[in-house]
């Protein structure tokens, strides 16, 4: 999915969790996360960032539940998802 399509899909579907990469076609993950945070209907959806760009961590100090750098260990991902979903309950 292209970043703009993700914004529309998240707005329509309202998932329990969004997993983003920093590098997306058409719109970057930082901008997409920011746009989600601005919309009342999506601002409270937890966001996990998965990326190979460790240097982008400083862009995501606020508004993300977790920041994981590739290669990602399955257990770390599962823990991050579990933490994000428990925080929402």
Residue 17: DSSP 8-state? -
Q: How many angstroms separate the CA atoms of 72 and 81, rounded?
A: 13
**What is the pLDDT averaged over residues 13-30?**
86
Nearest CA-CA partner of 29 in 58, 8, 55, 60: 60
- Tell me if the domain spanning 3-88 has CATH number 3.40.50.11540: no
Answer whether 34's CB lies under 8 Å from 17's CB: no
- 31-75 pLDDT per residue, tens: 888 899 999 999 999 988 888 766 555 565 666 777 888 899 999
Instruction: Report pLDDT for 22.
Output: 78
Instruction: Report pLDDT for 81.
Output: 94
CB atoms within 10 A of CB 43: 10
| Six token digits for residue 55 | 């240097």
Q: How many CA atoms does the CB half-sphere of 1 hold within 13 Å?
A: 13
CA dihedral (10, 26, 60, 41) in degrees, to 10, reads -20
Instruction: Report pLDDT for 21.
Output: 84
């Amino acid at each position: 999915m292209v970043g703009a399509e993700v914004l529309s899909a998240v707005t329509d579907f309202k998932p329990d969790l969004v997993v983003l990469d920093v590098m997306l076609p058409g719109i970057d993950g930082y901008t997409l996360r920011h746009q989600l945070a601005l919309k009342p209907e999506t601002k409270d959806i937890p966001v996990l960032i998965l990326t190979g760009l460790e240097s982008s961590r400083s862009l995501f100090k606020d508004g993300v539940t977790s920041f994981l750098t590739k290669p990602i260990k399955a257990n770390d991902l599962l823990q991050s998802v579990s933490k994000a979903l428990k925080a929402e309950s």
